[in-house]
A and B are shown apart, each in its own frame.
Chain A
């Protein structure tokens, strides 16, 4: 069973289009994330939701809009795609507790190419 799944795995689209990426986790976690990994391999947090509530919103263009219909799903919609949006987008989840050490589980990634 896949713990964190993303669809699609690959997405090739033209500039100006609108696209969505979906993420689902079956781990029962209460917190989900979107990360972007660019061509230089930097993995940067974009958004985080805890129990469907947005708790982290980094400096991301407002063309990116996350949506969490329930705590097992976190989708990412991108409007007016630009060349610079090409990257691998990773979804992740974790079980938030008061402990400082915990593990984030990542999905397989969605490789977005904007042409």
Chain B
């Protein structure tokens, strides 16, 4: 059974700092891994999706890496801003039920960027 862990549960940093959010998963046979952002009381916004054959994906100030063999992914946020304050969720999709199968989520990391 796939389990996804995100530690710590919460993080507070000053504005401008570069930071790394970690995600680990127990079953390395994943189809892909996705990072989401969730604002309080809102839905999820997809940030980056990494296919199992890829090592990293970049979008603006965000960079996500994937090390399948060790069961780890990191989300790197450069030059953090107060607007980055949100909960960041990591989710993996296993191939057992195909490309359109369910996502297994971590509990998320709640990030607060102080002005």
Q: Do A and B come from one complex?
A: no
Give A contacts to B, CB under 8 Å. none
Give B contacts to A, CB under 8 Å. none
